[in-house]
Structure 1
Amino acid sequence: MPILPMFPLGTALLPGDHLPLRVFEPRYQELVRDCMASPDGPRFGVVLISRGHEVGGGEQRTDVGTVARIMVDTELSGGRHTLECLAEERIRILEWLPDDPYPRAEVEPWPDTDSGPVDLSELTVHLGRLYGLLDKLTEGRATPPPDDLPDDPGARMFALARHIPMGEADRYAILSAPGPEERLTFLIESISSTIDLAEWQLKNG
């Protein structure tokens, strides 16, 4: 199984996300140097921290993550880096290796389970309702999802999730859904919760 450098973060990274990073811890400075020198390309895995903090180590980590590719690496003074990364495919963690000097894990790609056509009509209705409410809350400044979304249902829902206010637990549920049908269920549940909150804010704001 492939072994990847791993960067646990306080966010669930979805495929297609853009990830800016500021790297200042010595262990992650070394991770960046190793990634940039890797013959397999400047790639590392990202998993959500389920308990603990990004700095210092000792955190608890989830077992589903995403591969991030470094697109831009700007080295600053003191060995620090600013990175612009793009999230690629989803992965599962098979085994964590010792953090020496930074987290590493044996991983496997985790593509979506096979699925037939997925009916997105209910999702479309919920999105329309949500953005109608957000438009009122922001006095017309809400920006709905773009029209040029992927045709593949699973990838389309990842793209839509980037435009919906939600917590990291909801983002992780969407990331770790086995396939499009399960992802659709989680996405609708998350949108429904956001609709309830928006309606409460409009009523009590």
Structure 2
Amino acid sequence: MTNFIPIFPLGVVIYPGEQLNLHIFEPRYKQMITDCHAQQKLFGIPTVMEKKVNELGTLMRITEISKVYENGEMDIKTEGVKVFRILEVVKSIPDKLYSGAIVTYPDNEEGRGRPDLMRMVITGIRELHRLLKLSKEFKKPDELLNVYDVAHHAGLSLEEEYELLGLMTEMQRQEYLKRHLQKVIPVITEMEQLKDRVKLNGHFKNLSSLDLEL
């Protein structure tokens, strides 16, 4: 299935099911959001990296226009619907300031994947937060969480978040986060141990001699 959608390129990765608040201030996007809201149409947020619009993005639904300012700027609430792949960017639309794209929607399996693997991922993310001294709570019970719910909490770079967006089964996404956490947690643990050693500041206290036969 292919269709045409207005696009709002941003330097972020949005996942299906994710809720995103936006402040709309550019004239072209004020027009786009006004059109989409009036016609109950969806729009797309493709990811921008290194000043390039990438082919993958997420279709977005406007759930609320929270505030309209006197100058036409808006605060809106949106929700990710599904992943799209751009086939062609349409830079000029008659009588419109904004651009669009012809897109297709890859088959994306959003099931439970492997519950045991998901538990490992959640445990890893909580260990990461503990090491970083962060306090974060997920919006769902653990048994209802999927990778899209927790991906932004795993310390991925923008490039890694984009790679994750391109994985089309839940098990692939779970494996991706598991490998990422297995890579970064030992590094952070070593950094914490290094900080502890630095705190000693060269002074060693309460050291007892070792009972060695020399």
TM-score w.r.t. the length of structure 2 is 0.76
Alpha-carbon separation, structure 1, partners of 2:110 and 2:154: 25
Q: Equivalent residue for 2:79?
A: 86
SS in 2 for 1:9: coil
Q: Which has the larger radius of gyration?
A: 2
Alpha-carbon separation, structure 2, partners of 1:183 and 1:129: 14
Match of 2:148 among 141, 145, 158: 158
CA distance 1:202–1:63, shift in 2 (3 Å): same
SS in 2 for 1:13: coil
Provide structure 2 residue ranges, at least 5 long, that are not aligned to the other structure.
196-214
Alignment pair present for 1:124 and 2:124: no
CA distance 1:126–1:198, shift in 2 (3 Å): farther
Provide structure 1 residue ranges, at least 5 long, that are not aligned to the other structure.
53-59
5 Å matches for 1:65-76? 65-73=57-65, 74-76=67-69
SS in 2 for 1:203: helix
Q: Equivalent residue for 1:191?
A: 181
SS in 1 for 2:71: helix
Maintained 8 Å contact 2:85/2:103: yes
CA distance 1:121–1:28, shift in 2 (3 Å): same
The more displaced of 178-187 and 89-98 is: 178-187
The size of the alignment, in residue pairs, is 190
Maintained 8 Å contact 1:137/1:202: no
Alpha-carbon separation, structure 2, partners of 1:200 and 1:126: 20
CA distance 1:201–1:93, shift in 2 (3 Å): same
CA distance 1:163–1:114, shift in 2 (3 Å): closer
SS in 2 for 1:15: coil
* Offset of residue 133 of structure 1: 4.4
* Offset of residue 197 of structure 1: 4.4
Q: Equivalent residue for 1:177?
A: 167
CA distance 1:99–1:191, shift in 2 (3 Å): farther
The more displaced of 194-203 and 85-94 is: 194-203
Alpha-carbon separation, structure 1, partners of 2:33 and 2:74: 8
Deviations 1:115-167 (A, max 9, x none): 9x84343453353244134224327x34367425548xxxx221231432322
Maintained 8 Å contact 1:149/1:159: no
Q: Equivalent residue for 1:111?
A: 107
Q: Which amino acid aligns with 2:189?
A: E
Aligned-residue sequence identity (percent) comes to 22
